[in-house]
């Protein structure tokens, strides 16, 4: 939803969803949203999605939980 609000009216919600799924899967396919003039917030969001996709989502969630609550159960 963030990406679809930042890219403007030229792209649909499906284009933004495809772009996020492509980033999370580290595939490299694009609908044309990404580029040098992309909004910095959208770029940072896609970088985080690529990082989560590379490490897999469960280890990232476990890491985030340990940062918030500590390592004691």
Distance of CA 59 to the CA centre of its chain: 16
The string of pLDDT tens digits covering residues 16-72 is: 999 999 999 989 898 888 888 889 999 999 999 999 999 999 999 999 999 999 988
Whole-model pTM: value is 0.80
Residue pair 16/3 in contact (Cβ under 8 Å)? The answer is yes
Q: What is the pLDDT of residue 6?
A: 87
Q: What is the pLDDT of residue 71?
A: 85
Residue pair 33/16 in contact (Cβ under 8 Å)? The answer is yes
Q: What is the pLDDT of residue 20?
A: 92
């Amino acid at each position: 939803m963030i990406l679809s609000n930042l890219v403007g009216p030229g792209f649909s919600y499906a284009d933004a969803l495809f772009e996020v799924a492509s980033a999370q899967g580290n595939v490299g396919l694009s609908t044309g949203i990404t580029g040098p003039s992309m909004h910095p917030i959208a770029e940072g969001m896609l970088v985080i999605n690529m990082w989560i996709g590379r490490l897999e989502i469960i280890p990232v969630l476990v890491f985030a939980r340990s940062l918030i609550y500590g390592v004691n159960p």
